[in-house]
Structures are given as C-alpha cells and as structure tokens.
Structure 1
C-alpha cells in the first residue's frame, strides 16, 4: 500500500514537472517568436521610411538646374540606399527571389556615390546622367508607393511577418499572403523595367551641427535655476510643483528635463539648456477635445504666444494638423528677409486655442538680435535662371538659411512645383550658387 502511494506521488510529481517544463518551453518559444516578429516589423517599417526618404532626396536632386553641380542630396541618396538594402536583409525573404530590387538599390547607391563624391565639382551632370537620375526617381516613386500601400495593409489588418515566413516555406502548395504578394509585385515591377544607363560622373554632404553650446547666451544654471526659468516661462509665482533633473550623456547638448504641475491636475514637460536656461521644448500633455477653432484662427494664437514669450517669429511657413492640434512652423523676418535658422514650432489646441507645445531649439541656438543682412549681388531675375526650368515657380522670397556646413547664407527662395511635388530651391544672392533644395510635404 505504501509503495503504491509512493508510486502515485512520483507519477503525479513527474506529470507536474513535465507540465511545468512544457509550459516553460512553450513560453520561451512564444517569447522567441514575439521577438522575431517585432524585429521583422521594425525592419519593415524602417525600410518603408528609408524608401520614402530616398524618393524625396532623388526628387530634391532633380529640382536644381542640370547644368549646375549636383546637389548634396545625392550623398544622402547613397546613404539611404545602403540602409534600405540593410533593412531588406533583415526580412525573411531568403526563400523569395528579390535580387532585382536589391540590384536596383545597389545601382542607385553606386550611381549617387560616383556623382556626389568622385565627380569633379566643376563638371555638371551630363544629359545621360540626368536622364538616369530621372529614371531612378520615377522607379523609386513607384516602389515607394507600393511599399506604402503594403505598410497600410500591414497596420490596418494587423498582418504578421511570421505568417509570411511560413507561407514562403510552404513551397509545395500555393499560398495567399498579402505581404508575400506585395513584395513579389515590387520585384516584378523592377524586373520588367528597362536597364538603367549610367554616364560618367560632386559634392559631399557635410555634417551639420546646430547645437553648439557656445552659441547660447547666458551662464550655466543649476537644477534650481532651471526650475526658476520654467516658472518664469509658465508665469508661475514660484517653483512650487516644478522639478528639474539634469539629463545624462548622449544628449545633443547639456540640459535639464523639467516637469511642472499645471492647473486642473495638468502637467507640463520641458527641456531647458544648462547654459543660459533657455527653453528648447515645451509640452502640455492634456487631452484635446473636438475642434472649435479653424487653423487660420489658431495661427493668430501661435504668433501671439511667441510675442508674449519674447520670442521673435511673425511669418508662418508651414501649417499641419494632428489629432485636433494645429502645428505651425514660424520664422522671424528682418527687413523682409526670412530668418530660417531661428525657426520655432508652436502647437495650438483647436478646442480652445491654448498652446500645448513649443519647439524652440533652433531659436535658442541661432537667435541673433539685429543681425546684419548682406547686400544681394545678383537680382532675383538673375537668380531665377539658376533654378531648373522643370520647376514651375510660384513664390519668391529672400531668406537666411544654413548650408551643409552650418554657415548662414543669404538666398533667394523659390517655391515651385515639379511632377506634382512642391519644392523650395535656395539660390545664394551673392553669386547664384545653389545652396539647398527642400521638398515640401
């Protein structure tokens, strides 16, 4: 009888142990599958972002006159094409032919590298090189469109990459998978296109750093000083309810993260520079109700807010709307010249017109009171000749912008359209040199 009980106990214990190990193994397996799925999703969405940026940069490089030196956008194209290839390599596509798309990305990278780095900067693009660039732009636009549609499907239908991997592994039967079909369509599009023609091939993109602490005015502040700066900005009588903590290594500049209690159980988050105690970011995290103001009405709130805070800014250069919040990019003007290095972004809640966000990093690091505006040495009409005839110019302004080396340049700013996209082209007012091209969303 005793032996029977012991045997039963051992059997039960063995079953419990086996069940525990089975459950543990199942959990570990699920954790590994979840980790793999998350890695695939990250790589896919990053690929989509890089392809979108790649298409934008190719478009920028086309928005300048083909008889001038190529733009630094091509160096960015070279970098983005390499990143896109790396993103594809992280996806489970090894069982599916995808070599044509990979070769296209490789060709884009090699061509842009030759043009941007190896070509003599005094030599313009040849007609053949220009046509190749145009072809790359058109093809990348098609791929980006397909990838964007696939990304929408993945998000809306909550599609899993693990299912796509399983579908690819089942080579013995026909499978129906949206992700697999999407990538097969991309590969077919590239495979059916005519081969690219490469001509002989100027300009390296330099690193730009606009957060040099030496540009900041004032002396260093401690946490208490940062809290006091926050109180002044918010209009509080004292620092009660405000706490400041110094940010660690890895930030763009020495700064403090500040939290502040607001009326009605609200809370504000701010970033304040250690040198000078300048507010570079402000966010009020309250929920925003249904809109009662339109974007035009809220724009007056944005410019009035900057004036109240003593921040120069009177020209709105861009307006967006996200989640019942109006987002305004604003620059100051001096003698009719737009000062882009001093840009701020103001976020206005459309339910009551309250400012719920401010990004003033550029302003803090680049603001100059009564800056000297140089005299133009070429006319607007002369500068217009340096813009590609493919761009249909709609607006012209005078602007101070930063070049790729972070130097301020006095330019004519031409806003125009090409291929249903809108671009800003900056031509230096001293000699007609193209300083930069910006694609507007």
Structure 2
C-alpha cells in the first residue's frame, strides 16, 4: 500500500517542485526585466536632462549674441528656450526625485519657461525686449552654464562608475546611505546652487503666476474672535441665543483666518463661514442643509442669488455664467459699474433648486480685488470698430464692456463678444484701446447651463 502511495506521491511532488522552480524563475526574470526597463528609462531621462540644460545655455547665448534690434532672432531664441526648459522639466519629473529636495531648481526652470514664453508671444514691433529683460537673459546665461556643468559632472561619474538610478530610488525610499550617494549628492549640489541665486525681476506677468494670494495682503485692522462671532450671527440671520464656534486657522501664517460655525436654534442645520483676520472680510459661506428635488428654474435661481448678494452687502453684481448640476445651480457674479463688468471682483454662488435659497458662496477673489475707487477709462475704439476685428464667421450673440486681467497681469478694458463659431460657443475679449485679442474662452456648458 505504501509502495503504491509513494509511487503516486513522489512523481506528483517532484512535478510540483519543478513547477514551483519554473514559476519562480519566470517571476524573477519578469522582475529583472521590469527593473532593467525602469533603469533604462531613468538613465535616458537623466542624460536627456543634462543635454537639454546644455542646449538651454547655448540657446541663451545665441539670443544674446545678436543685435538688440534683431527681434526675429530674439523671438526664435526665446521660443527655443521655452521648449528646452519645458523638456528639462518633463525629464526631471521622470526621475525618482520625489523624496529629494529639488524644488528650487524646478521652480527656477519653471520661471525661465514662463518668462521666455510670455516674452516670445508678444508683438516685438510694439514691445521689444527691455533692458531689464536683456539683463535677465545675461544672468540666466551665466546661471544655466553653472547648472549645466554640475549636471555634466554627475553625468561623468554615472558613466565612469556605472552608477544605477535604481540604487538612488532605493536609497531615497529607505533613507539608507542617502547622504553618500553620488547622484543624490550631485542633485543636492545643483539645488543648493540655484537656491543661492538672487531673485530676478521677472516682470508682472511671470510674478503673478507665483504670487501668493495670501489674506495678509488684504490689509485692514485685525479683528477679534468676538467681532467675528457678531459678524457670523448677523450674516446667518441667527438669533443671539445661537451657538457659535470660532476656530482660528493658520495663526501667524500668511493664510490666517477664522472659521465660524453657527448652530441656530430650532434644530436648523449648521452654517459655516470663513473670515479674514485682516479686516474681518467674509470669504466663504456654506449652509449644510439637505437639498430636495428641484422645483425652481435656473432663471428664478439667478434672481434669488442676486437678491441674496444684495442683502448681504454685495451690491451691483451681475451674473456672467450659470451651470446646473442635479438639483443645484452654480452662478458666477461680477461687479457691474457704469456699464462695465469688473471680472477681478468675482463671487460664486451655489443655490438649491428646491426653494431657491443660497447654500454656499465663495468671495475670496472679491475680497482681494474689490476697489471702491477703481479708475476705468473710456474705450478708444467704438463698438463698430472693434466688431470689424472679429472673425467674419463669428456669429455674435451679445457684446458688453469688460474689465479683465490679461496674461501680462495688467488690468485692461475690453469689448467682450459672446457667440458661436465652428459649432462651439466662445467669449472673445478685444482690447478696447488697441483692438488686440486679450483672451479667448470656449464656453463648455453642462446640463441646464446658460451663458449670460
């Protein structure tokens, strides 16, 4: 009996053992194949990064080598600088550097990309490179040369010592021997060098991208928690017996604010509000009530939202867009003054379509940008003159004057034209003084949306 059992079990066990060995070998081969592919990708990205930074240095040199009147070469050079910098940023993102401090270098490359792009796309016949921008290019030429040399030093060590990027990833993940890893040390050297560079004057268009929209910039006298309590009760139309919880956020930071949670009497849902510490300005409101089935039209909801803003101290607001999502309506309002829509002073309102009551709104842009004495010039171009500058195939639905912030972070008066072309809806903003297109927006509407 045992002989018969062993005669069956022995071949079966041997077969299972051989199968396990084959499976393990195949798994190991697949693992090695994946590791090899990852290593090759890392190596390619790193060597491409070194090459593109070297090319970036050369392209900046080419741009500086020609006459200041060579606007065509300047434009071509800046386009190439933008392209090369963008490629370098992409290659950095492919390397296992998420745990390694390399943010200064990434931000530096980002600023070069934005600076070169915004300079290249403008009309050089009207706005040639300024002396300050040429000085920026000289500094960038010098700095990029130093960064390129540091990367090439790391590249030479990688090649001569046959270093592996998979070891870098392991070192960063486990924090083992991270301090004496050649590649890690090389990248730390680059980032340390970049961090020591003095900040350049990139101009308002680039600076606005990195501008920290902190509530401290709003100015105004700091308010107390008790003052916020009174403001919250008034805004929520709650009685003096309502419970109010005040939470201070980001104390001693650029984003210092108060959150007020009001619990009205009578079992009504709580409402929460955020206020700035500087000036006590309301920046958001949220009503936590449950919204029932829709009974109110979007047109009625727009009117209700406008009444809400008027009652809460936001007068002269005009709806510029509306979108419906299930039983909620979302509306964007901007200040209207003397027939001009002031887009920087923006408020978004959320309305429940069951009864038309506001369930939330966001006013951080309005709080930051609102000005009582904003000076808006008269349009130099007539409406008829501006209309002639539109694409002849553009089917105009409406027009209005709009005060917007353009790509150069400058506020300008424009003619806003809404209409259709190529089967889609667009808003086109033409400068009311020069007739150039300041912005073009495709309007993507959701179910129940309306373009005001």
- Determine the structure 2 residue equivalent to 1:375: 378
TM-score by length of 1: 0.53
Q: 1:264 aligned to 2:303?
A: no
Q: Secondary structure at the match of 2:441?
A: strand
Match of 1:121 among 120, 123, 127: 123
The correspondence of residues 13-412 of structure 1 with structure 2, limited to 5 A, is 118=120, 121-122=123-124, 207-208=208-209, 209=211, 211=213, 213=215, 216=218, 218-238=220-240, 240-248=242-250, 253-262=255-264, 263-369=266-372, 371-389=374-392, 391-412=394-415
Change (3 A) 1:371 1:390: same
Q: Secondary structure at the match of 1:225?
A: helix
User: What is the CA deviation profile of residues 314-335 of structure 1, one whole-angstrom value per residue up to 9, with x for unaligned ones?
Assistant: 3211111123111111122111
**Contact persistence 1:376–1:430 (CA under 8 A):** yes
Change (3 A) 1:407 1:240: farther
**Contact persistence 2:216–2:254 (CA under 8 A):** no
The correspondence of residues 414-433 of structure 1 with structure 2, limited to 5 A, is 414-433=417-436
Q: Secondary structure at the match of 1:368?
A: coil
Q: Secondary structure at the match of 2:438?
A: strand
Distance apart, 1:253 and its partner CA: 3.3
Distance apart, 1:387 and its partner CA: 3.8
Distance apart, 1:235 and its partner CA: 2.1
Q: Secondary structure at the match of 2:226?
A: helix
Q: Secondary structure at the match of 2:375?
A: coil
User: What is the CA deviation profile of residues 301-320 of structure 1, one whole-angstrom value per residue up to 9, with x for unaligned ones?
Assistant: 10110111110243211111
User: What is the CA deviation profile of residues 231-279 of structure 1, one whole-angstrom value per residue up to 9, with x for unaligned ones?
Assistant: 1211234374111212127987321122111353411122111111111
Q: Secondary structure at the match of 1:226?
A: helix
**Contact persistence 2:316–2:337 (CA under 8 A):** no
Q: Could you say which structure has the larger radius of gyration?
A: 2
Please give the alpha-carbon distance, in whole angstroms, between the structure 1 residues aligned to 2:232 and 2:393: 49
Change (3 A) 1:251 1:223: same
Distance apart, 1:393 and its partner CA: 3.0
Please give the alpha-carbon distance, in whole angstroms, between the structure 2 residues aligned to 1:84 and 1:420: 36
- Determine the structure 1 residue equivalent to 2:11: none
Q: Secondary structure at the match of 1:303?
A: helix
Unaligned runs of 5+ in 2: 1-74, 96-112, 127-203, 445-452
How many residues were matched structurally? Answer: 272
Unaligned runs of 5+ in 1: 1-69, 91-110, 125-202
Root-mean-square deviation (Å): 4.0
Q: Secondary structure at the match of 2:344?
A: helix
**Contact persistence 2:221–2:279 (CA under 8 A):** yes
Please give the alpha-carbon distance, in whole angstroms, between the structure 1 residues aligned to 2:411 and 2:121: 26
Q: Secondary structure at the match of 1:207?
A: helix
4+ long deviations beyond 6 Å: 81-90, 111-115, 249-252
Please give the alpha-carbon distance, in whole angstroms, between the structure 2 residues aligned to 1:255 and 1:285: 20
Change (3 A) 1:239 1:400: farther
Q: Secondary structure at the match of 1:288?
A: coil
Moved more, 234-243 or 419-428: 234-243
Change (3 A) 1:360 1:115: closer
Distance apart, 1:377 and its partner CA: 1.2
Please give the alpha-carbon distance, in whole angstroms, between the structure 2 residues aligned to 1:399 and 1:298: 24
TM-score by length of 2: 0.51
